[in-house]
Structure 1
Amino acid sequence: MAKQGSRGASGPPQFSGEEMICVIYGPEAYLQRHYLDQLRDAVTKSADADVDVLHFDGPAATLADVLDELRGIGLMQQRKIVIVEDADQFVTQYREALERYADGPTDASTLVLRPGKWNASWKLHKAIVKVGAVAKCEPLKAAAARQWLIQHAEADHGRPLAAEAASALIASLGNDLSRLSSELGKVAASGPVGELIEVEEVEALVGRASDEEAWEIQAALLSGDAGEAIEIVTELLELSNKPAELLTYFAADLVRKIHHAAVLLDAGEPTGAITKRLKLWPPDRASATLAAARRMGASEAARLLATLVEMDRRAKSGFATADRNLERFGVLFARGLG
């Protein structure tokens, strides 16, 4: 039997990469994505090869199709992850059959169920924790969210975060990790790497850098018109007095979403599930982002993101200016759309 990772529904999971069935559930979307990424990394490391990831839309999926995918391994393929999104109806309809599968699952694939709710008293739960893991994704309490912010500020952005500044973020935004992560990125982008983020910086930027301001530059990029993108950048810099580093963050956030959407589209995930997972809203913004993902593709989006990160690094090191970098990036983005 394969070595399992975390077997309970409390605390962060410790994936071994040999889990045959996993359940990732709960209302905290950021943790769901984070745990799914951790599982994918662990399986890839365990297999020592590329791992194919496939998505099924739970309400439309049949058990036969999912099991066929789990058991069907190509000649060159060693491991596969099969994810059933919005799996509540799927689990309800096929729970007894899933119990039988859990008694003897294939060790060549990992089944991931992503329902909204889960019952630890089920026989299915007990069968799954013997061969895999169950991860519950609940909102963090204020103290845990504050510690999470402090850790991620330095690990992800290279800037230490004062405890008072972390508390100010939570007081302003609540404890939704997706929103906290987004706003933390905006604040961190406004100053140099290594500089402490104080509460005054949070109070000055959070709320002022609204979603509408972010969308203004993102919409200009998505238009594919480099001239329009440069015009919007100039307007925000000179007339609205927005920091160039903040606008760089807005551009990077868009390219990350395009890359993530392109990867999920390539994996066959339904557009509705992608929209929900990446929080693409309202519908016109979701459509524009998904259209860009189809036109650009995952590899080009990854290349553009790496280019923008390098531009930002050079600007912060004094080798270029952030405003000039944004103008150059507008041209590169338009070319990437084709």
Structure 2
Amino acid sequence: MCPMAKQPTFKASMRMAIIHGKESFLMTRYTNDFAQAIAKEHGDVDKVVFDGATVDLATVLDEVRTFDLMMRHKLVIVDNADVFLAAKDTGKTSNRQAMERYAESPVNSATLLLRASAWRPGKLDKAVAKVGTVCKLQSLSELDSIRWCVGRCGKEHGCELDTQAAQLLVQRIGLSLTRLDTELGKLSAKVAPETKITKDDVLEMVGLSREEQAWEIQSVVLSGDSGLAMAKLGELLDVSRRPRELLMWSVVDLTRRLSAASTMLQNGMPAGDIRKTLKLFGDGGNRILHLAKQRTPDQLANLFTEAVAVDARTRSGLLDGRRGLELLALRVCRVVK
């Protein structure tokens, strides 16, 4: 198994491989690494890609077992492999069972790569590992994402990324490497011919994320200061023109995470795992965890239930949207104070 923190090694001798996980950037990168390893050994490679949601077993096996007309080595890729494996052949045998049998004796003239964002481990993983590799793509932590941005910017975009700039970029974009790399490309083009990207460049080029907009009201509500919360709501609604629906979502989401954190703590989940699961970063994450420890799961679950009910009433027109938002913010302030 290849955890994402460790660079997987692909060899031309591998006849099957499984790459699964939600990080599309690494999925593409590792596929290219695998193809290059094969090409280095066999020369030009005939690459064939199937959509596992629509292709049948016979088509895949025929492609793998049929020699290329130019005698090139084949790399046959099945995307959405989880869907493909769940389907059944014309008989009673499932595609998964058929792939398990194929893995016992794969052909030498082709390599079969199964790719999926979701995956159910089983006998197939063990069979593939004997003739190739199984690689699970795991999302990077916030800190690792910051380090990745600094390294990626220097290696691929030819620019030095300031650490504070990298931290802000991750806060605004999130942990998707694909999106982060896109923004690094834009930032590099923006500062050219200079080769240093600063925090000010990120502030100028990268807009506030949904989470940052949400945090504008969440941070004030978490303080428990009702007067400050009302003033901030007025500023966001009347001056900054933030959508009322976004602010309502922000407060409801805050109660959801408080409730979930409290329940997870009661169940003995480590704080680090809770942070990762609920995306609790920085001082805000610390504050939510602190409150989750101080309040009971029932208290915070009731608060979340009330928040959902207020949101539903505003959506249905039974309660004025602004009034509902103010009432909910005040209610949260009283609970967390």
TM-score (normalizing by structure 2): 0.56
- Which structure has the greater CA radius of gyration? 2
SS at match of 2:169: helix
Cα distance in 2 for residues equivalent to 1:197 and 1:59: 42
1:172 Cα deviation from its structure 2 partner: 0.9
* Equivalent in the alignment of 1:36: 31
Cα distance in 2 for residues equivalent to 1:183 and 1:189: 10
Cα distance in 1 for residues equivalent to 2:3 and 2:120: 10
Q: Does 1:140 align with 2:140?
A: yes
* Equivalent in the alignment of 2:105: 104
Cα distance in 2 for residues equivalent to 1:26 and 1:206: 27
For residues 41-89 of structure 1, the C-alpha deviation after alignment (integer angstroms, 9 at most, x for no partner) is: 1111121x11011111212211111111111113522311111111212
Aligned AA (1:14): T
* Equivalent in the alignment of 2:18: 23
1:28 Cα deviation from its structure 2 partner: 1.0
1:194 Cα deviation from its structure 2 partner: 6.1
Cα distance in 2 for residues equivalent to 1:159 and 1:126: 42
Contact 2:188 2:195 in 1 (8 A): no
SS at match of 2:166: helix
Aligned AA (1:112): L
Cα distance in 1 for residues equivalent to 2:12 and 2:191: 38
1:193–1:148 Cα change, 3 Å: farther
Cα distance in 2 for residues equivalent to 1:9 and 1:82: 23
SS at match of 1:146: helix
SS at match of 1:97: helix
Contact 1:81 1:110 in 2 (8 A): yes
Equivalences, count: 200
* Equivalent in the alignment of 2:174: 174
* Equivalent in the alignment of 1:199: 199
* Equivalent in the alignment of 1:45: 40
1:171 Cα deviation from its structure 2 partner: 0.9
Cα distance in 2 for residues equivalent to 1:142 and 1:8: 20
1:109–1:9 Cα change, 3 Å: farther
Aligned AA (1:187): L
1:204–1:9 Cα change, 3 Å: closer
SS at match of 1:23: strand
Deviates more, 1:125-134 or 1:111-120: 111-120
Query: 1:208-227 residue pairs with structure 2 within 5 A?
Result: none
Contact 1:158 1:193 in 2 (8 A): no
SS at match of 2:197: coil
1:167 Cα deviation from its structure 2 partner: 0.4
Contact 2:3 2:138 in 1 (8 A): no
Cα distance in 2 for residues equivalent to 1:175 and 1:8: 19
| Cα RMSD for the two superposed structures | 1.7
Cα distance in 2 for residues equivalent to 1:194 and 1:150: 16
SS at match of 2:159: coil
Cα distance in 2 for residues equivalent to 1:8 and 1:156: 23
For residues 169-197 of structure 1, the C-alpha deviation after alignment (integer angstroms, 9 at most, x for no partner) is: 00111111111111111111112356221
TM-score (normalizing by structure 1): 0.56
Aligned AA (1:191): V
SS at match of 1:190: helix
Percent identity, aligned pairs only, is: 37
Contact 1:8 1:129 in 2 (8 A): no
Cα distance in 2 for residues equivalent to 1:71 and 1:116: 26
* Equivalent in the alignment of 1:240: none
Residue ranges of structure 2 left out of the alignment (5+ in a row):
88-94, 209-337
